[in-house]
């Protein structure tokens, strides 16, 4: 159901407070053609109520003729900021950027963060934002998980469906997504709630079975028959199965980029208020599927770039796949058992 402006303004104020927005700081709200009007309107009110100096930077959409989906994560790399020095300068001069457009996996985003600017991405529907307002408890749980990841040298994932994946760790640090930006130069995504890292480049190996009920993103599709990925040298070298496997292969083939088949980030969901079933209640173009990415106990892995972690691999293809029922081990410690987070 829709929510009132009052509810969304209060949600924004809570997130902005957690993000340590102070009177007199500069906030730039980054928008484009797909920005939700209620999210924008309420962000403008909340930031001004809190005494910020507020700007809106609206940029034209790009990549529409290249992408095979309207999802903002379906085609990565170039953004409306690419080559736009004036816009980049304005964002670097801001204390906080509210990204209502989606800058993920772009070199411009990294450049802006290095200046000390904080960036908070918020592109889910208003009612999802209000339902999944982050908390300090979310931060505590996610940081505890990332501490374990940072100390580990190997992640092993298994499942009754047949997943048996080994990912050596240590080349890239852990990433915590808990929904707000409370430090200079921090990026986060509201809503979220998961811990992740990237395997050492070209080392992940084994088998991943995407079972019935697991989710493909940005397809926003529940798998109806198993898809088997053979992982060798950090890449999915085979994608086998029935129609679902054929659909995934065909989609990935459209990019014509072998780097799209690399194992990207790996981790697990830690958000108890996010639900696996929510995706089935939404039109595909209404959400980017953050419930699916964050629901507690999923093993979330992806295919594609690792430049978000400081790696050299860039590609416009990025697939997120949350699996249910997996057991995740860091070295000899089980952190998720049969799809349930170990306390």
Q: Are residues 80 and 195 in the same domain?
A: no
Task: Write the pLDDT tens digit of every residue in 256-265.
Answer: 999 999 999 9
- Check: CB of residue 235 under 8 Å from CB of residue 263: yes
How far is the C-alpha of 51 from the C-alpha of 193, rounded, in Å? 28
With tokens 């209502």, the residue in question is: 100
Q: Has residue 325 been placed in a domain? A: yes
Q: Are residues 166 and 268 in the same domain?
A: yes
* Predicted pLDDT of residue 65: 78
And the tokens for 28? 């730039």
Q: Has residue 232 been placed in a domain? A: yes
Q: Are residues 112 and 140 in the same domain?
A: no
Q: Are residues 105 and 240 in the same domain?
A: no
Q: Are residues 121 and 164 in the same domain?
A: no
Going by the DSSP 8-state scheme, the letter that residue 143 receives in this structure is: H
Q: Has residue 195 been placed in a domain? A: yes
Of 8, 87, 95, nearest to 54 (Cα)? 95
Q: Are residues 127 and 149 in the same domain?
A: no
Q: Are residues 153 and 79 in the same domain?
A: no
Q: Are residues 105 and 161 in the same domain?
A: no
Q: Are residues 217 and 142 in the same domain?
A: yes
Q: Are residues 329 and 313 in the same domain?
A: yes
And the tokens for 86? 């004036």
- Residues paired with residue 31 on neighbouring β-strands, in sequence order: 58
Q: Has residue 185 been placed in a domain? A: no
* Predicted pLDDT of residue 117: 98
And the tokens for 219? 């397809």
Q: Are residues 92 and 229 in the same domain?
A: no
Structural domains of the chain, count: 2
Of 81, 73, 107, nearest to 312 (Cα)? 107
Q: Has residue 184 been placed in a domain? A: no
Task: Write the pLDDT tens digit of every residue in 149-164.
Answer: 999 999 999 999 999 9
The CATH number of whichever domain residue 126 belongs to comes to: 3.40.50.2300
How far is the C-alpha of 261 from the C-alpha of 122, rounded, in Å? 27
Q: Which residues of the chain, if any, have pLDDT below 70?
A: 77
Q: Which helix (H) or strand (E) holds 175?
A: strand 175-177
Q: Are residues 227 and 315 in the same domain?
A: yes
Could you list the residue range(s) of the whole structural domain that residue 248 is in? Answer: 136-178+191-341
Q: Has residue 264 been placed in a domain? A: yes
pTM: 0.95
Q: Has residue 186 been placed in a domain? A: no
- Give me the numbers of helices (H) and strands (E) for the chain, helices first please: 8, 20
* Predicted pLDDT of residue 300: 98
Residues near 16 by beta carbon (within 8 Å), at least 6 away in sequence: 46, 47, 50
Q: Has residue 214 been placed in a domain? A: yes
């Amino acid at each position: 159901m829709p929510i009132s402006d009052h509810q969304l303004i209060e949600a924004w104020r809570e997130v902005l407070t957690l993000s340590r927005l102070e009177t007199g700081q500069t906030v730039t709200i980054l928008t484009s053609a797909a920005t939700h009007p209620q999210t924008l309107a309420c962000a403008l009110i909340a930031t001004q109520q809190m005494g910020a100096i507020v700007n809106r930077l609206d940029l034209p959409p790009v990549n529409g003729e290249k992408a095979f989906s309207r999802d903002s994560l379906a085609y990565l790399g170039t953004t409306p900021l690419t080559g736009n020095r004036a816009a980049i300068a304005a964002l670097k001069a801001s204390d906080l950027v509210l990204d209502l457009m989606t800058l993920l996996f772009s070199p411009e985003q990294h450049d802006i963060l290095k200046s000390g600017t904080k960036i908070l991405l918020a592109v889910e529907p208003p009612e999802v934002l209000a339902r999944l307002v982050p908390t300090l408890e979310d931060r505590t749980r996610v940081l505890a998980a990332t501490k374990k990841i940072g100390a580990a040298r190997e992640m092993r994932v298994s499942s009754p469906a047949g997943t048996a994946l080994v990912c050596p760790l240590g080349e890239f640090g852990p990433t915590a997504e808990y929904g707000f930006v409370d430090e200079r130069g921090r990026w986060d995504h509201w809503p979220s709630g998961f811990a992740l890292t990237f395997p050492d480049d070209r080392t992940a190996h084994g088998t991943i079975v995407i079972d019935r009920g697991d989710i493909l993103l940005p397809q926003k599709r529940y798998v109806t028959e198993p898809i088997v990925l053979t992982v060798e040298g950090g890449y999915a070298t085979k994608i086998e199965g029935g129609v679902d496997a054929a659909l995934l292969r065909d989609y990935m083939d459209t990019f014509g980029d072998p780097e799209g088949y690399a194992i990207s980030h790996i981790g697990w969901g830690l958000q108890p208020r996010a639900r696996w079933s929510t995706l089935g209640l939404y039109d595909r173009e209404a959400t980017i599927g953050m419930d699916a990415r964050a629901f507690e106990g999923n093993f979330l892995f992806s295919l594609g770039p690792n430049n978000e972690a400081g790696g050299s691999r860039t590609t416009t293809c990025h697939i997120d796949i949350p699996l249910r029922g997996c057991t995740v081990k860091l070295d000899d410690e089980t952190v998720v058992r049969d799809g349930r987070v170990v306390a």
